[in-house]
Amino acid sequence: MFSALPRLSRTLSRTLAAAALAAPLLAPAAAQARDFVSIKGDDVNIRAKPTTGSDVLWELVRGYPLQVQKRQGKWLQVRDFEETLGWVYAPLTSTAPHRVVTASNANLRSGPGLKNAVIGKLLQYEVLSSLGQSGTWAHVQRSDGQQGWVATNLTWGW
């Protein structure tokens, strides 16, 4: 009986390791996807269903980041940082990285880190072009061209 324990332990270890490796393959595709898009045009409609005849849920501005949940033909089911779901016509989106400010306000800094000078104030829902990242700091550009750094936990997107 005791001699079977090491063999059982090895078998259990192998089974658990195999399950851990297979788990991502068994998870639903939407749960794995971190596929983001941004709005390409001005005032693009997000709809309740994947058709132009469907109700408009809201309008989004150029650059607004969205996470793709599902694809259906030329339509994308998307969510924003508030988890709201809707459909957008894929040709009206881009793969250019953007972030939206989720905090009520945030500091735009001259470099990545709290010790760098504050060079501007960002407002909630402001859309920023993403230029890069350093650790937990995003290098961004405002619509007026001003560049700086913002803490990623104060924004959403990529």
- Report DSSP letters for 141-153, one per residue: E-TTS-EEEEEGG
Strand partners, 29: none
d(CA 157, CA 99): 4
99-157 topology per CATH: SH3 type barrels. (2.30.30)
Residue 33 one-letter amino acid: A
Each residue's pLDDT tens digit, 54-104 = 999 999 999 999 999 999 999 999 999 999 999 999 999 999 999 999 999
Residues 134-158: pLDDT tens digits?
999 999 999 999 999 999 999 999 9
Q: Is this prediction's pTM over 0.85?
A: no
The CATH label, of 2.30.30.40, 3.40.50.10540, 3.90.650.10, 3.20.20.70, for the domain at 29-94 is 2.30.30.40
